[in-house]
Amino acid sequence: MRLARRGFTLVELIVVLVVIGIIAAIAIAKFVGAREAAYIASMKADLRNFALYEQFYATDNDGKYFSGTGIAQGFKPTPDVTVVATDDPGPPPNWRATAIHARTPKICTIGVSDPTTWTIVCP
C-alpha cells in the first residue's frame, strides 16, 4: 500500500511556471500597446485644442496665425507633450503643428489647408 503523496512534482511546478510566464507575456504586450495608444490620444487632443487657439488668434489678428508653442497665447499642453507650430503667411495664410510626447518616439502632426479643415496624422 502506498502512502498519500504530499506536494507537487518538479514537472508539475515547471508546467505551472511556463503557463504563468506565457500569460504574463501576453498581458504585458497588451498593456504596452494600450499605453502607447493613450500617449497618441493625448497628442491628438492637444493638437485639436491647439487648432482652436490658432483659429481664435487668427480671428483677433486679421487672419494671421502664430508660430511657436502657443504658451504666450495661453495654450497649455498636457504634461509630457510639446506642441510646436509654424505659420505660413501665404497667401492664403495657413499653419502646421507637431506634437511630441516625452514617453513615445511617435510624432503627430496637424495641417490646415483652410480654416475649417484639420488633418491630424499619427503614424
- pLDDT in the model for residue 5: 72
Domain residue spans of the chain: 10-121
Please write the tens of the pLDDT for every residue from 52-76.
998 888 889 888 888 899 888 889 9
Closest by CA to 110, choosing from 64, 56, 51, 54, is: 51
Q: Let me know: does 43 contact 101? Beta carbons within 8 Å.
A: yes
**Residues ≥6 apart with Cβ < 8 Å to 102:** 80, 81, 82
What is the chain's alpha carbon radius of gyration, rounded to the nearest angstrom?
26
pTM of the model: 0.74
| pLDDT tens-place string over residues 68-122 | 998 888 899 999 999 999 988 777 778 899 999 999 999 999 987 666 778 899 8
Nearest to 65 by CA among 121, 118, 107: 118
